[in-house]
Chain A
């Protein structure tokens, strides 16, 4: 038994020693043909770099979108008119004041603490010949904005319930809108024109950026009644935005909202909802699914690129085997077994693709970082760099696998060369 173990140990030692020199030989050979080796693994480098780039950008995009969704507020529930699949939901007329009244009843939706109907008004504001269309022009309630989004006009003040009831033509504008129309001069009390109607500016929001669902800087807010009567000529809402008493009760409240709206709309059991109820968590799940699918699609495209890269590696390995026929013959004449030759070429392919994979990871990370800097400065604020550790590991593992798979055939070819024919090869 002892002897058996000793033999085993000895064999293991020899194998480790061989492995060491196999790897050294592989590096040596790659170094000798540095330019060719680099060109050979370029496909792998680009493939792996693409994986990293896609995964990194995908993750950052997801984080960004999720961040925006998170700004919606965990307690917020939004009802939209029309069916979920209905693209024209903004024109759907299923949400009315009757629904708002029904939802406001504590017996229907006990967890509701705030409710605000809203309409979206397309168009632009005009002041002394200057025109500007804000990102969002909204008919809603100013108090709700203050309570839910914690934003107060300064200078100026909120329009009130009386303004809503009396359909006052008043408007609160964001800091950017003010800047565009008024520059440095005073805006409060001035009259702007929206679709031939004169509106008095009662407040300007300070520059605070995104709050909840809206960019407060690039927004115009008027009473929803005013917007319905003078600008839209309708009596339905595009959104009903509600706030729950706590984030834990959001799901329950969403259920109550749905039940209330179904009852209010007199929907039978066999009819589908003619509205949609959104919560933050629901949106998060939706986005994760979409981004995940997109990432998977791109990743599979990259997988194809990696296979193509692998074929390139195989091609060059075959050339290398032919070129080094004499060396193979010599090694065999000096006592290399088929297995040893096979291992040598296989490891050469693996080392080649592994190095390519590592370069790809570094390149991909660098490109993602660069992209994140550009994107955050030029396109989207809040875009952040994220290094996808999983993708990096995947990239290295896959490139190694590519080397193993595509190195196998050339290595086998090398191993099967007859020593004397190989030695004679010129």
Chain B
């Protein structure tokens, strides 16, 4: 059973009288444990697709099933719970609370979870260790470098042990070396923990970390192919 099932999904943005068709009917499935890149030039609709997959926005038409249940059948509370417990998000612009420490930023998802408070500390420290940031645990994130910030964001995405991690251009604001290190962490998660990773990127070199590429062009699924020669991480 596929984790994500997308069937003829469309998305129309309305701004006044102007309608923009961002997705024109895409169909695909993503299995549990897959590492998928969604590629495409900017404006192709790849971010819109990720937002729909990540329960961050609603699709206009078609059927989207998560875990074999239609998105439209989830209540507001369930949507919030799934975002919290089953999904982790990593954004291009990090989206950290700059005045708060690494520890506090990573703790954020736990505030909204049903995990008992006495388990928090262990989970937070473990997640921070996984991204190699233990030495910065009490730093305010506004004082960190770009790479360190993105590591914090990944730790935050990991802390609830989600089934799937969404990464929206995670290397977009980083230099290639730092970006490579970030991609190594994501690949590691996929390999060692079997996490499903959905990555958005417009760089081919980044997309090649994945097993499979969904290529979006002008709101349509243009190509869907397996990556033959996957990039190996420096530690993989």
A→B interface (CB under 8 Å): 10, 13-14, 17-18, 21, 28, 32, 326-327, 329-338, 340, 418-421, 423
Contacts and interface: CB of A to CB of B under 8 A. Distances in A.
Nearest to A13: B116
Given A333-B83, A334-B156, A327 B97 contact: yes
Contacts of A18: 111-112
Nearest to B111: A21
Given A334-B108, A335-B85, 9 more contacts: A18-B111, A331-B108, A333-B56, A334-B109, A334-B112, A335-B112, A336-B80, A340-B112, A419-B56
Contacts of B29: none
5 contacts: A330-B97, A333-B56, A336-B111, A337-B77, A340-B80
B80 A326 contact: no
B139 interface: no
B76 interface: yes
Given A333-B83, A338-B76, A418 B57 contact: yes
A334 B91 CA distance: 12
Nearest to B82: A335
Nearest to B58: A418
Nearest to B52: A420
B152 interface: no
A423 B109 contact: no
B89 A334 contact: yes
A335 B79 CA distance: 8
Contacts of B54: 333
B57 A334 contact: no
B91 A423 contact: yes
B19 interface: no
Given A327-B97, A340-B112, A420 B51 contact: yes
Contact of A336 (B56, B85, B112, B117): B112
A166 to B, nearest CB: 93
Of residues B83, B108, B111, B160, which shows the largest number of chain A Cβ atoms within 10 Å of its Cβ?
B111
Contacts of B89: 333-334
A335 B83 contact: yes
Given A326-B95, A327-B97, A330-B95, A335 B84 contact: yes
B4 to A, nearest CB: 17
Contacts of A419: 56-57
Chain A to chain B: the 7 pairs with minimum beta-carbon distance, closest first? A335-B84, A335-B112, A337-B80, A420-B56, A334-B109, A420-B57, A335-B83
A118 B38 CA distance: 105
B69 interface: no
A410 B95 CA distance: 22
B117 A335 contact: no
A332 B114 contact: no
Interface of B: 51, 54, 56-57, 76-77, 80-81, 83-85, 89, 91, 95, 97, 99-100, 108-109, 111-114, 116-117, 156, 160
Contact of B80 (A329, A330, A335): A335
Contacts of B160: 335
Nearest to A14: B114
Contacts of B100: 28
Contacts of A420: 51, 56-57
A28 B113 CA distance: 21
A336 B85 CA distance: 11
Nearest to A422: B56
A421 B62 CA distance: 22
A28 B156 CA distance: 20
Nearest to A29: B99
B95 A337 contact: no
B56 A334 contact: no
A158 B44 CA distance: 111
A32 B97 CA distance: 12
A330 to B, nearest CB: 5
A294 to B, nearest CB: 49
A335 B81 contact: yes
Contacts of A28: 99-100
B114 A423 contact: no
A423 B80 contact: no
A158 B9 CA distance: 111
A335 B113 contact: yes
A343 to B, nearest CB: 11
Contacts of B95: 326, 329-330, 333, 423
Contacts of B51: 420
Of residues B77, B85, B97, which shows the largest number of chain A Cβ atoms within 10 Å of its Cβ?
B97
A337 B112 contact: yes
Contacts of B56: 333, 419-420, 423
Nearest to B94: A330
A348 to B, nearest CB: 15
A332 B77 CA distance: 11
A354 B131 CA distance: 41
A337 B76 contact: yes
Contacts of A10: 114
A335 B109 contact: yes
A380 to B, nearest CB: 53
Nearest to B86: A335
B118 to A, nearest CB: 10
Of residues A13, A326, A332, A335, which shows the largest number of chain B Cβ atoms within 10 Å of its Cβ?
A335
Contacts of B97: 327, 330
Contacts of A338: 76, 80
A151 to B, nearest CB: 72
A190 B176 CA distance: 112
Of residues B91, B95, B99, which shows the largest number of chain A Cβ atoms within 10 Å of its Cβ?
B95
Contact of A334 (B76, B77, B84): B84
Nearest to A336: B112
A324 to B, nearest CB: 10
B66 to A, nearest CB: 15
Nearest to A18: B111
A418 B111 CA distance: 20
Given A18-B111, A334-B108, A338-B76, A32 B84 contact: no
A425 B109 CA distance: 21
